[in-house]
Structure 1
């Protein structure tokens, strides 16, 4: 039978391409494999996890009550009874450092979280709507940028008064403008993307565009700076406590412990100042190393 001239031969559909394991790899697996290539990131992560465990289980790990003095060992050096020695009131330094981890991590995490929330919100508004709102938010950020971070925190605490909650507010205030600038820059780039324009064309409200399509694209930069900022906040809070603008002097906070050790340093009692200073140094270093590793992992421009 002769096939009609106007009939085209039927083509069989092409077989579906075979997907290998590399094609279906999870982005979390890619992140983990990139992250573990940084040895210092692993060390810093382990140190931070141990520090969190110490802060959580401080009542069980501390050998003594941080406020109870030992009248038989006033200003004693390191010994079997008191591994890090005692201060001038006979309080165990190791116990105060363990309990101080709670306060320092609490101040660092909470203050940076508050600053991040407000900064991300302002950055999204400034980058998405622009015009007078962008100018108002950015000029306000420039005013805050004109002051060094510690000086701005001191000014805020001087206005609000000393206290742990006011230290958190002060540290949060000087974290806001940097988060706002980071998110604004990312928003200006993402809102020009084709998929964002498509979502806006179908009539999606601004709330949906900002929260579902723009905000996720800014999170990598926010996470990196959030990690780096925790170390800076812990150091700033300790500085405020050291000059008497933090919590009450008897509170076992690392900056307070250093402040109480000033007189003992002149008498050669090095242990009361060295050990809390070492705790601050290692904690800030660990968060900075972790932030650098996250930046190298999450930033596609730095990936090899």
Structure 2
């Protein structure tokens, strides 16, 4: 009597990867219907690859003093470097740094801060949101009141206070932005979890005496991923914008760390003197990066939200 059931279980195991592959194919088929979203995804991946490989693909290390020549400062786009044949495609800044290289290094730092902040904020926020929804009562009320207090203050103000208290640095700005954004994930996870906890599979899991942690993270969390994925994509763009704002104000990353916001700030004083490229090109790179993320987020929302499907 036990042999047929064993065979049935054995035969059923390969179906799960096949089903997952079918879901991914269906998701991509629907996502790719938007040419703008696909263009945003391709451009974002290209930017990310170039940023990660910046030490190898950039024409110059803009933060290596041995490679800089003050005589090449404020050269316009497509200018040649003195007696050499090197071309500064996007010009140079006031210190003779190649703007193309500086932008690649700056995007590398901005993307690192954005990804690190998004991952940490999601871990903290999702865990608190799930526990609040599952245990409800005083636990849920306490977590949501903390989230309400955090969301009642402007994000930039909280980040400024944190940095003023703990100082500058890549790790400091990541922690500051996590403090700013965890509440968004907590509210999203809680709202999705409250819907899932009313479904029959949760009651079945409780009847089987599964642990609370297993019910939350093994069964409830996977069904909360779609809205969290949309929020994470939007929040990545928000994080890049906040980091650029803080660096532009001189309160974000130190001058030894390349950043798009810091590059824009360095060229701000030269806008009216004619050296527009020092500030404009990093600004365009920041705009394109955020545009790509927002295009992807809009399409993800349309694909993953069943209420928006016709």
TM surpasses 0.5: yes
* Structure 2 residue aligned with 1:74: 73
Matches within 5 A, 1:113-262: 113-262=119-268
- Aligned residues between the structures: 282
* Structure 2 residue aligned with 1:8: none
> Contact conserved, 1:110 with 1:168, CA < 8 A, in 2?
yes
CA distance in 2, matches of 1:74, 1:210: 57
Structure 1 counterpart SS, 2:77: coil
Summarize deviations over 1:66-123 as a string: whole Å, max 9, x none.
1232222211111242111111111111110011111010000001111000000000
1:44 partnered with 2:37: no
CA distance in 2, matches of 1:239, 1:300: 35
CA distance in 2, matches of 1:24, 1:96: 41
CA distance in 1, matches of 2:136, 2:297: 30
> Contact conserved, 1:76 with 1:87, CA < 8 A, in 2?
yes
> Contact conserved, 2:109 with 2:257, CA < 8 A, in 1?
no
Structure 2 counterpart SS, 1:283: helix
> Hey, which bits of structure 1, 4+ residues long, moved more than 6 A?
none
> Contact conserved, 2:120 with 2:178, CA < 8 A, in 1?
yes
Matches within 5 A, 1:9-88: 26-67=22-63, 68-80=67-79, 81-88=87-94
* Structure 2 residue aligned with 1:101: 107
- The farther-off stretch of 127-136 and 161-170 is 161-170
CA distance in 2, matches of 1:216, 1:248: 39
CA distance in 2, matches of 1:118, 1:69: 42
- The farther-off stretch of 23-32 and 104-113 is 23-32
CA distance in 2, matches of 1:152, 1:38: 37
Summarize deviations over 1:197-237 as a string: whole Å, max 9, x none.
11111211111111111111111111111111101101100
Summarize deviations over 1:169-204 as a string: whole Å, max 9, x none.
111111100100001011111111011111111211
Structure 1 counterpart SS, 2:74: coil
Aligned counterpart in structure 1 of residue 303 of structure 2, from 282, 297, 301: 297
Aligned counterpart in structure 1 of residue 280 of structure 2, from 265, 271, 274: 274
* Structure 2 residue aligned with 1:9: none
Summarize deviations over 1:140-177 as a string: whole Å, max 9, x none.
00110111112221122112112221111111111100
Q: CA RMSD in A?
A: 1.5
Summarize deviations over 1:255-275 as a string: whole Å, max 9, x none.
111111122123121000110
Structure with larger Rg: 1
Q: TM-score, normalised by structure 2?
A: 0.88
Structure 1 counterpart SS, 2:269: helix
Q: TM-score, normalised by structure 1?
A: 0.90
> Contact conserved, 1:64 with 1:95, CA < 8 A, in 2?
yes
Higher helix share: 2
Aligned counterpart in structure 2 of residue 264 of structure 1, from 244, 267, 270: 270
> Contact conserved, 1:163 with 1:245, CA < 8 A, in 2?
no
Q: Which runs of 5+ in 2 are unaligned?
A: 1-18, 80-86
